[in-house]
A and B are shown apart, each in its own frame.
Chain A
């Protein structure tokens, strides 16, 4: 019996070896796959044991802090002025994971980023707890606060984005309705769950979405600056004449393309591009887009940053597009920013900033510096020129037309001492455009001759004006207040 017993012994050893081999696979070789699985909350829990890095704005104000607690999750994330910055900071939640900066800069904030490697090693040797790196944002606290207050004062749903045209630094990024990330960062699981349930309920109106980067809207008349830029590049100028008719038929259809209220754009049969832009005449811009053609229009849009998928600022940004434009009728409608045009508030701010920056498009960015735990700078973001979307001369011509547009725009809060170049938009949306309240747009930059700030404002569903809302009445006052806050605070 001893021979089979020895063979059984071999079999037993093989079984243990199989277990050891499999454990090596699970725990060592393939461990990362399981460790990084989205369902695995252990890693997140471990991160709480480490002091997470801070998020600060340009003037050093801390917007995401940590507080040491006595409970099992050692450090509590706290957000100062939470709702104001929530779309940017995102949240850090034991139950619900991360979003926003907390997600995209997670490795840095939790200290596992390669750039912190030397510091980790030294922490290992000195026996100190490793801590995360800090992220300094480009946001201007005053502009951000004013933008947030402006949107929330009347309970608007919308977004404001402000960019410094010469660098691409994002000065403000607001999205409303917002939320308090402190509720989700709470170490009390029930409080987290209650907050989550409330934030994701149907009535909450998607507060967790950062509308500045994640929401796509019809561009409405703000797209006319882009069409004009295309026409200028195509050899037209501000005096080129277009139809002044109050209503035209879309090519090869019986569908009308009317101006606002069907009003003719001028007394004569034609108007100049300048007047058409100032008065935001749909018929003229339909014709202008038609003459330009879909390809040239699309190429101009791409120069401004359309169709750029995978853009990260470093928050991921949805791709703005003109849509398919299958025929001339669609082209006409695209020319006034309707049909299938989809644009993020950030992209619309980029359009304004590019015109302001003599036609040179700068890469927008939110993170100005990466700081080590010792607050020494590890990585500075350098402004990045993407491409020349317009020639300086054409940019100047377009700027002058936008100055006329601002003069022609109503609404409150007109700035007295500063010349603003702007374009409004009143974007129809939904299946029955005339019954849905339009989105109100306003894009602008100032001072017009030496721009320091470019903005895009959108207020969804007409804000407080309902069906009668226009970009000028609803969005422009907000934009002007934001510009004023920045220029006054220089």
Chain B
């Protein structure tokens, strides 16, 4: 998959789609998607049954409910894709279905283990699986709506600055609002509490800002490559073109550090860097960005106690095992992974409830413990297939905005997985961030379903037969920004 040329040998349908032969309708591959969705549904149901058996429970009505809800939801999602994006990539949705389904099973599994637990403050364990099914339903609704109302992803580019502003506000909101509406949970101030609902606006801001960056970079793309001064062998763009970008980036990082959400901060920075690189095709940006990151990381480490704590926990979790906020969580994760070994303890037969936050940030550790290295590797590969199919669509799509946005979205998924799984397995310091589609949490799920809808929309644009090339009376403003560029006075 290193060189996803449209005529890839693995998917003949895609090759037909991208070769523009008028009159010949390429296969939509929706049947393939349905078969793979059924396969995913089968795996998830099997996983659920395994959990129930290993927890020595009789097959209760609850399984039936969860299983059917799951099947029904994705059948609807499939129909939505069939209706509104018939040429969408057939692999992405099944990958998502498998991840989401496995997430539901593991969340249910943690519920079983924690059932009846009374915490120190007297509260009892609150079952999460049912809520997560509801969130999945809402997420898929949002997914379908996005497909229906966004018939062309290029429309988004028109609202680039609006999205950027809204995204920024959403990102900053929890940081600036008072504690009763934006409480600090586990040290991070990233939630908004509205009645019974807790939402994480940052998850949505991620997508909004990505749209902004993509639109902005496409519109200014030529400036970055042309109008620069040379400095140390690298071409630098003019400050006034870069200004908005660095301002947005600076605010983002500052807000993240103030909200103590290191994971999102790292994720966001990585995305900006990749978008910049793809837009300009210049490695110099990556070098500059990594330098910036290294400097920022050292400064953050020097300045903030919570950063030092994370780094210390990463260096030697065992030494800090009994320290409050120390290495207990990461140690438990590693114990689970190591005890699971190659084959795993079996779904429902491990002891993942010993890991704090087992159903959110550390959910991949549960999978590693119970499904072993084999299952863990499979999970990572599903993520990789998902992300690479997204990237492939970005490469195949014809417009620059689509390429940039698609590439950014695909990278975002992969990078987020790297950050959270790397943290869980002690490859990098742990930063609180959710595993896409697996972790408990509504905001993350909804945002990621929008992300998938966008990717499918871009992939549909890439694979759909091109309409007859007649000049359109009104071109989208930014999609062919280079003409605007020519008119721009120097």
Contact = CB atoms under 8 A, between A and B. Distances in A.
A15 B414 contact: yes
Nearest to B420: A19
B118 to A, nearest CB: 12
Q: Which of A4, A28, A33 has the most chain B CB atoms closer than 10 A to its own CB?
A: A4
Interface stretch (B88-96, B161-169, B182-190, B338-346): B338-346
Given A23-B368, A35-B335, A37-B318, A13 B4 contact: no
Given A8-B277, A8-B411, A22 B350 contact: no
A488 interface: no
A27 B277 contact: no
Given A1-B279, A31-B341, A39-B318, A16 B395 contact: no
A98 B373 CA distance: 30
B414 A27 contact: no
Interface stretch (A40-48, A136-144, A295-303, A421-429): A40-48
B427 interface: yes
Contacts of B29: none
Contacts of A11: 274, 411
B400 interface: yes
Contacts of B415: 12, 15
Contacts of A41: 354
Contacts of B392: 9
A117 interface: no
Nearest to B413: A12
A26 interface: yes
B338 A8 contact: no
Contacts of A7: 277
A96 interface: no
Interface size bracket, B side: 35 or more
A18 B418 contact: yes
Contacts of B381: 16
A13 B278 CA distance: 17
Contact of B394 (A5, A16, A22, A40): A5
A1 B335 contact: no
A93 B97 CA distance: 42
B427 A27 contact: no
B418 A15 contact: yes
Interface in B321-377: 321, 331, 334-342, 345, 350-351, 354, 368, 372-373, 376-377
A5 B403 CA distance: 8
Contacts of A45: 351
Given A3-B281, A39-B318, A27 B373 contact: yes
A10 interface: yes
B354 A9 contact: no
A34 B426 CA distance: 12
A41 B353 CA distance: 12
A252 interface: no
B390 to A, nearest CB: 10
Nearest to A33: B338
A19 B368 contact: no
Contacts of B335: 34-35, 37, 39-40, 42
Nearest to A70: B56
A26 B424 CA distance: 11
Contacts of B410: 12
Contacts of B340: 27
Contacts of A407: none
A79 to B, nearest CB: 26
A2 interface: yes
A48 to B, nearest CB: 11
Contacts of A23: 337, 368, 373, 376-377, 380, 425
A6 interface: yes
B384 interface: yes
Contacts of A19: 380, 417-418, 421-422, 425, 427
B2 A10 contact: yes
Contacts of A31: 337-339, 341
A34 B368 CA distance: 14
Query: Most chain-B Cβ atoms within 10 A of its Cβ — which of A12, A31, A42, A46?
Result: A12
A16 B337 contact: no
A6 B3 contact: yes
Contact of A20 (B278, B321, B377, B426): B377
A263 interface: no
B68 to A, nearest CB: 29
Contact of A18 (B338, B395, B422): B422
B407 interface: yes
Contact of A27 (B318, B338, B380): B338
Contacts of A18: 418, 422, 427
B2 A35 contact: no
Interface string B147-175: 00000000000000000000000000000
B425 A43 contact: no
Most buried by A among B336, B373, B403, B426: B373
A255 interface: no
B114 to A, nearest CB: 13
A436 interface: no
Given A28-B373, A42-B350, A34 B387 contact: no
A267 to B, nearest CB: 68
Residue in A13, A15, A28, A30 with the greatest tally of chain B CB atoms within 10 Å: A15
Contacts of A15: 414-415, 417-418
A451 to B, nearest CB: 51
A32 B339 CA distance: 8
B373 A1 contact: no
A22 B427 contact: yes
Nearest to A38: B318
Contacts of A309: none
Given A12-B414, A23-B377, A34-B337, A39 B4 contact: no
B383 A5 contact: no
B391 interface: yes
B337 A27 contact: yes
Contact of B414 (A4, A16, A30, A42): A16
A16 B338 contact: no
B279 A27 contact: no
A201 interface: no
A122 interface: no
Nearest to B338: A34
Contact of B336 (A1, A12, A24, A42): A42
B337 A20 contact: no
B422 A22 contact: yes
B404 interface: yes
A26 B338 contact: yes
A32 to B, nearest CB: 8
A16 B427 contact: no
B388 interface: yes
A3 B281 CA distance: 8
Contacts of A4: 277-278, 281
A12 B388 contact: yes
A40 B400 contact: no
Nearest to B344: A27
B305 to A, nearest CB: 24
A9 B392 CA distance: 9
Contacts of B373: 23-24, 27-28
Nearest to A32: B338
B303 interface: no
Interface string A92-103: 000000000000
26 contacts: A4-B277, A4-B278, A4-B281, A5-B394, A5-B403, A8-B407, A9-B395, A11-B411, A12-B410, A13-B1, A16-B380, A19-B380, A19-B427, A22-B426, A22-B427, A23-B373, A31-B338, A31-B341, A32-B338, A34-B337, A34-B338, A35-B339, A35-B341, A39-B331, A42-B351, A46-B339
Please list the 6 inter-chain residue pairs (A to B) with the smallest Cβ-Cβ separation, ordered nearest first. A34-B338, A40-B335, A31-B338, A27-B373, A12-B414, A15-B418
Interface of A: 1-13, 15-16, 18-20, 22-24, 26-28, 30-35, 37, 39-43, 45-46
Given A1-B404, A12-B387, A19-B417, 7 more contacts: A12-B411, A16-B417, A23-B337, A23-B376, A27-B337, A34-B338, A39-B318
